[in-house]
Structure 1
């Protein structure tokens, strides 16, 4: 199983992630072979597998590392992530994911929704067979509720004036940071790590997820489609107003408000004015600074964990995400 080339520098982890993809693949069995192929194509579409990577590494925190169990839990988390992406793409009307057409674009909304629902079922099949305790399953169920609530919050906030940093942070806490936190926590708890260390892992994952989403939102303005995997400034066009724009709006409401009131009717010229205003008001710089603060918080939690080679890998990955070297 091929995994993203970002893991070439971590061969052991790369092999483990290949096993994660293989396990997911073996659990996808649909009577309609066209749909089965569609779902499997998504599994192998080139995602970075960050969440299972963090789960696998955190499975080395405690004294009872179990590779088979760690692989299964990581597979469940990646399957959950893919399910939310499929539904997210339908809601947002996104046409590409990882640079390839989304399922709803090629097969329609009905197949896309079914595919997402099927992946949710695979998630809980994997957890029910391999998770240590019912309490862990309940924890992951509650976490999924928060993730889906974050998606719903984003849907309700579309085309609303981007004024509150607090509301933005609350939204990405559910939409993105929750699953990073669950990934780190799940790895730790399945290795029978102490209560203190599992919470350190949870906090680390939360801060990583916050920094990751902020950086993703920065890249939406200054990246390119090959890097980001979707058209540049796609979020603005879909009425999703993220941190760089919120900062700019706070400083220059006069310029941005009448443009954003056009909603879907934005022109190319409008987009250029938005981008120029964000740059002039240092929206990207301010967002970068906040991402750096969250990364420092994540590394502080990492330092509290027991010593081991896994910590060096966690440090390298986390700092590289901030700089988007990976």
Structure 2
């Protein structure tokens, strides 16, 4: 997708190269697997937002590329740990690290990337403020994960519970990306806080659409098994919203928990669509996107603002 952003594409490539340079573990198979995951078709949206928000000021581009690399490293670490918790066999059409090497090695791989993230931050961040922001974000991400674990298989989960979880997980990483890009480029603290709010709306909209695709796409398109979250007891917006319309219709299927068959899963997907769970979730994603774009339209006019608006609008129409 980045060929449409010719000034951004080479910086994202440089960020990936910088991450690879930092992966110096002697465990060659694990290091190779980490880099295959990082280079395996991820969207690189979080580092992209970091870089775009840094363009409202004249700033050392190597510094911002390194900070964008730190953001993507943090994101990849959380994905590795997510795959352990969810026992996911694939991601981005590749075998996960936990499936290849076992959960113990995958834990260490994720932890190693946390170290790489903080090494980059400590070397390139201009002040302790960015490191504080990053550590605070990690705390909120973990809290989102713990909140999600507490509601596994809970059929009475509310949409507010869901929003609290995704704000701490996906929303927080996008918010951090936008904040770091703005703050570390020398923009005012007020500008950086506004960037953070915009990023939160973008992240929540992104997760909502990700959850919608779980009900409207297929394994090959998504690069991972669809609806696996349901088997592990993680209920997302389309299902929660559909259950508000007719909870009793879903309870017999959800009572099967991780024993639900593929045929029953397909039945569940059709129920979610029938009871307008997808439609309602999309309306929520659209509203969050509109809020983000309203914030972006208040930023200084120019190429950075144009690219941010165009990129954010495009996320609502993605198919994977």
With the shorter chain as reference, the TM-score category is: over 0.9
- The equivalent residue for 2:191 is 197
- The equivalent residue for 2:29 is 34
Alignment of 1:7-86 (within 5 A): 7-61=2-56, 63-86=57-80
- Give the SS at the match of 2:104: helix
- The equivalent residue for 1:89 is 83
Task: Give, in whole Å, the separation in 1 of the partners of 2:69 and 2:106.
Answer: 20
Alignment of 1:228-247 (within 5 A): 228-247=222-241
Deviation at 1:228, TM superposition (A): 1.5
- The equivalent residue for 1:171 is 165
Q: Contact between 1:162 and 1:241, CA under 8 Å: does it hold in 2?
A: no
Structure 2 residue 228 is matched with structure 1 residue 214: no
Deviation at 1:325, TM superposition (A): 6.1
- Over the aligned positions, Cα root-mean-square deviation in angstroms equals 1.3
Output one character per residue of 1:188-218: Cα deviation in whole Å (capped at 9) or x when no partner. 0011111221112111100000000000000
Q: Contact between 1:163 and 1:249, CA under 8 Å: does it hold in 2?
A: no
Identify unmatched segments of 5+ residues in structure 1. Answer: 1-5
Equivalent residues, number: 320
Deviation at 1:36, TM superposition (A): 2.0
Q: 2:121 aligns with which of 120, 127, 133?
A: 127
Q: Contact between 1:218 and 1:244, CA under 8 Å: does it hold in 2?
A: yes
Task: Give, in whole Å, the separation in 2 of the partners of 1:170 and 1:120.
Answer: 24
Q: Contact between 2:198 and 2:296, CA under 8 Å: does it hold in 1?
A: yes
Q: 1:221 to 1:205 in 2, by over 3 A?
A: same
- The equivalent residue for 2:272 is 278
Q: 1:110 aligns with which of 104, 110, 135?
A: 104
Task: Give, in whole Å, the separation in 2 of the partners of 1:279 and 1:300.
Answer: 30
- The equivalent residue for 1:154 is 148
TM-score normalised by structure 1 residue count:
0.95
Q: Contact between 1:162 and 1:245, CA under 8 Å: does it hold in 2?
A: no
Deviation at 1:94, TM superposition (A): 0.7
Deviation at 1:64, TM superposition (A): 3.5
Q: 1:318 aligns with which of 297, 312, 318?
A: 312
Deviation at 1:34, TM superposition (A): 2.3
TM-score normalised by structure 2 residue count:
0.97
Q: Which piece of structure 1 moves more, 248-257 or 272-281?
A: 272-281
- The equivalent residue for 1:3 is none
Q: Contact between 1:243 and 1:287, CA under 8 Å: does it hold in 2?
A: yes
Task: Give, in whole Å, the separation in 1 of the partners of 2:22 and 2:291.
Answer: 37
Q: Contact between 1:200 and 1:305, CA under 8 Å: does it hold in 2?
A: no
Structure 1 moving runs of 4+ over 3 Å: none
Task: Give, in whole Å, the separation in 2 of the partners of 1:145 and 1:199.
Answer: 18
Identify unmatched segments of 5+ residues in structure 2. Answer: none
Structure 2 residue 284 is matched with structure 1 residue 287: no
- The equivalent residue for 2:95 is 101
Deviation at 1:268, TM superposition (A): 2.9
Q: 1:93 to 1:325 in 2, by over 3 A?
A: closer
Task: Give, in whole Å, the separation in 1 of the partners of 2:156 and 2:49.
Answer: 32
Task: Give, in whole Å, the separation in 2 of the partners of 1:34 and 1:257.
Answer: 44
Output one character per residue of 1:118-161: Cα deviation in whole Å (capped at 9) or x when no partner. 00000000000000101221111111111121122222222111
